[in-house]
Amino acid sequence: MSIAFEPKRKIFTLKTDHSMYQMMIGPENYLLHTYYGRRCGDAFDYLHLERDCGFSPNPYALAAGRGFSLDTMPQEYSGSNGGDFRIPSVLPETDEGIRGADLRYVKHESRRGKYRLDGLPAAFGGEEETETLSITLADAATGLEAELLYGVFEHADVITRAVRFRNAGKSPVVLRKAASACLDLPFGDWDLLHFHGRHAMERQPEREPVTAGIKVLSSERGYSSHQHNPFAILCERGAGEDQGECYGMMLCYSGNHQTEVELDQTGLVRVVSGIGERHFSWKLEQGASFDTPEVLMSFTDEGLGKLSRIYHRFIRHNLCCSKWTAKKRPVLLNSWEAAYLDIDEEKILHLAENAKKLGVELLVLDDGWFGERDEDNRALGDWTPSPRKLPHGLNGLIQKVNEFGLRFGLWIEPEMISENSRLYRSHPDWALKVPERQPSIGREQMVLDLSRPEIAEWMYKTVARLLRENNIEYIKWDMNRSVTDLYSPALPADRQGETAHRYMLGLYNVMDRLTTEFPNVLFEGCAGGGGRFDAGMLAYCPQIWCSDNTDAIARLQIQRGTSYGYPASAIGAHVSACPNHQTGRTAPFGTRAAVAMAGTFGYELDPAKLSEEEQEEIRKQISRFHEVEDLVREGDYYRLTEENPRFTAWQFVSEEKKKSLFTLVLTEPAGNPLPLHTRLKGLHPEQCYRLKWVEYAGCRNWTGDELPQSLSGAALMYGGLTFPRMYGDDPSVQILLEAE
Ligand code: DGJ
């Protein structure tokens, strides 16, 4: 049993293989958080001593001792307007104007298996691998109940959390904030590691000490965003890749989100994570309930690398529903950077024919195939093929692509509507708009109001029809602007604050139906590259296009940042042409392939524009990828370099430690360089490994033959490898290690 309740001391203990989470029912039935850390057999209620702290008030019944204050005690789920001045988790308000929540323990129950959430993506696990604990708290004044839900994945070292609110009172309650989880860490010096960025430069890691005050990481853009990923790590100040305590909080949600981090007057750090509150409110009529998205939490004392591997495994095994998650993915060629919108049947067939000769397995027809889409300012919503570009329709094109021996994939952006489209002309009211105000426009398009069930239904039917009528085996689901002008004519005034979350529920409902009905279709998520790279989307899409920036050197940092939370199996990565279309850089072909091999691997170029040698190179790259794809998709991932300006190296290791792929890219060649040296990780020390030097792109005068051909795991991990001097722009080395 991973969940236990000790009635005498009223302590709840949740155990995973390597972590332990504890809380207790304290005085006056306040639920106090007591511990989250290494697994052990102890109870930590003794740690939290009462003290009289000036201007931190006491609950009425405990006023006499002055020692107990909600403002100084670690809370399990913070209330509001009741004496805890730190970040609240919930902000309710009744019709009578009663605000805040004084949450007290009412009851609890535990059972085998994992709770489910209404209309939201969530981690899953069988009865044998998970347990659920539910603890109900209630606020007498508003009648609001908060059922705290915990899913314990013992062997995965993950605890999921969510909250189910219920209005058990007599009048309606409006939730102005409804966080998914609150985590109080009463002691220690912590750094916050978070992943911020912008379009074409997503998930740049930033590590900073947690200092007094509140730091908020959020997106109010209607999607999880390029700017702030809904994943944050708190780690010990000295923590590194292989050592130190780390906590991960990953929100399983693709809409507005916020993670607030506060260092309070007592030295306690509070993290509250959930739906972004700026555009959120939810009205609960008497008896109604509301589920928050869930947070995937993990703790390890073995450093950031281990924390990443916990999340990678968990996402692959307990979050992604698609059967593609564990399956070999087709090597694809995408038409976007090959032709942009300038496509027609002839061009696509030409691409397909050439791609097939190189070993590509699936051709993706990106943007430009539908309606009057000659420019990117029109036709979104008109999801029928342009007769001018595709005279034989999608079916005619797909048949021919299939005859070449290639599978076919299609790009769509179904959440959007162009003002210049047939759809808009017949349904101008379907776009999100505030009455009497000109809507804000992004990429000259507007957003469909998916909070309205009939519009979500139209979206489902439109995509389902495409999939039913055509042999489409892959979908790239794009989304290319922020959501603004939140107002839905279908909702009454007092529910307008629900629009943004209802949009997400509408989207999830459609994704759920489509992925269930078409389980053989591989769905790749996308939002102008990696703008919606989050656990919510990963529940439906086993892979997400990581960034519109396909420059291999820029990708080093983007993919590295992404790797802290998300597995390589989910990272859409392609080799593109040079000079690179986003940066103008020319990186060696081999380096571009080595970097794309840390993801799903494919191409984003026109093979006809390549030399014979380059085409031959592609054949070799694809056959090498086939050699390592299982390893990349399912192996353990190790970052070998910290923030390192000279070079970036990483490694995949198979579960049984029999096979490994090592890659290094030198980004800063020097005139008189220091030796280039790195140690490998994750191998078996006593195992002997054969080293196959499979790529040395841009490395002048060496072939790998003069370097060690066989070494023990111990030598590779403790002594490491030293590389000969590397010259030129962005050279790289890739080594395949196989147990002898
Ligand atoms: C943004 C995507 O990230 C690109 O890969 C491409 O599909 C374009 N949209 C098409 O408009």
Task: Give the Cα separation of 395 and 468 in Å (integer).
Answer: 11
Residue 628, SS3? Answer: helix
Give the residue carrying structure tokens 């656990």: 535
Q: Tell me if residue 109 is catalytic.
A: no
Residues 304 and 381 in one domain: no
Count CA atoms closer than 13 A to 600's CA, side-chain side. 33
Does 99 map to a domain? yes
Residues 640-688 have pLDDT tens digits of 998 777 999 999 999 999 999 999 999 998 899 999 999 999 999 999 9
Residues 517 and 594 in one domain: yes
Residues 374 and 429 in one domain: yes
Testing ligand 1's pocket by substitution, the residue of 198, 223, 335, 411 carrying the most ligand atoms inside 8 A of its CB is 411
User: What spacing in Å lies between the alpha carbon of 528 and ligand 1's midpoint?
Assistant: 6
Q: Of 554, 491, 503, 561, which Cα lies nearest the Cα of 533?
A: 561
User: What spacing in Å lies between the alpha carbon of 343 and ligand 1's midpoint?
Assistant: 14
Total domain count for the chain? 3
Share of the chain above pLDDT 70, in %: 100
pLDDT at 703: 85
Residues 292 and 405 in one domain: no
The backbone region for 699, taken as left when phi is positive above 0, alpha when psi lies in -120 to 50, beta otherwise, is: beta
Which residue segment(s) compose the domain that 679 sits in?
639-739
Can you tell me the mean pLDDT for 228-236? 98
Residues 11-70 have pLDDT tens digits of 999 999 999 999 999 999 999 999 999 999 999 999 989 999 999 999 999 999 999 999
CA angle 110, 112, 113 (to 5 degrees): 115
DSSP for residue 306: H
Residues 278-288 have pLDDT tens digits of 999 999 999 99
Can you tell me the mean pLDDT for 304-329? 98
User: What spacing in Å lies between the alpha carbon of 709 and ligand 1's midpoint?
Assistant: 43
Query: Whole-prediction pTM value?
Result: 0.98
What is the chain's alpha carbon radius of gyration, rounded to the nearest angstrom?
Answer: 27
Does 322 map to a domain? no
* CB proximity list for 521: less than 8 A, separation 6 or greater: 467, 472, 473, 474, 475, 514, 515
Q: Which tokens in the block code for residue 313?
A: 């495994």
What is the maximum alpha-carbon separation in the chain? 86
The secondary structure of the chain in percent helix, strand, coil, rounded to multiples of 5, reads 25, 35, 45
Residues 470-514 have pLDDT tens digits of 999 999 999 999 999 999 999 999 999 999 999 999 999 999 999
DSSP for residue 470: S
Q: Tell me if residue 614 is catalytic.
A: yes
704 confidence band (pLDDT: 50, 70, 90): confident
Outline where 487-611 has alpha helix (H): 499-517, 535-538, 552-563, 589-596
Q: Which tokens in the block code for residue 444?
A: 């000259």
Which entry of 157, 534, 548, 604 is annotated as an active-site residue? 534
Q: Of 80, 95, 117, 107, which Cα lies nearest the Cα of 169?
A: 95
Does 555 map to a domain? yes
Testing ligand 1's pocket by substitution, the residue of 201, 202, 335, 366 carrying the most ligand atoms inside 8 A of its CB is 366
Can you tell me the mean pLDDT for 199-221? 98
Q: Are 186 and 268 in contact (CB under 8 A)?
A: yes
Q: Of 379, 447, 375, 439, which Cα lies nearest the Cα of 415?
A: 447
Does 516 map to a domain? yes
Q: Are 407 and 457 in contact (CB under 8 A)?
A: no
Show which of 584, 617, 635 is a domain's final residue.
Answer: 635
Helix 393-403 to helix 345-358 angle, to the nearest 10 degrees? 20
* CB proximity list for 663: less than 8 A, separation 6 or greater: 594, 595, 597, 598, 649, 650, 651, 732, 733, 734, 735
Residues 614 and 682 in one domain: no
Q: Are 20 and 14 in contact (CB under 8 A)?
A: yes
Show which of 282, 316, 350 is a domain's final residue.
Answer: 316
Is residue 334's pLDDT more than 80? yes
Residues 249 and 382 in one domain: no
Q: What is the CATH number of the domain that holds 498?
A: 3.20.20.70
Task: Give the Cα separation of 706 and 345 in Å (integer).
Answer: 49
Which entry of 191, 512, 614, 627 is annotated as an active-site residue? 614
Can you tell me the mean pLDDT for 447-462? 98
| End-to-end Cα distance, the chain | 41
Can you tell me the mean pLDDT for 338-360? 98
User: Do strands 474-477 and 446-447 pair parallel, antiparallel, or not at all (unpaired)?
Assistant: unpaired
Is residue 356's pLDDT more than 80? yes
Residues with CB under 6 A from ligand 1: 336, 366-367, 376, 411, 478, 480, 526, 528-529, 545, 548
Residues 621 and 644 in one domain: no
Residues 628-648 have pLDDT tens digits of 999 999 999 999 998 777 999
Does 325 map to a domain? no
Whose Cα sits closest to atom 10 in ligand 1?
A: 367
Q: What is the CATH number of the domain that holds 109?
A: 2.70.98.60
Residues 368 and 255 in one domain: no
pLDDT at 706: 85
Does 646 map to a domain? yes
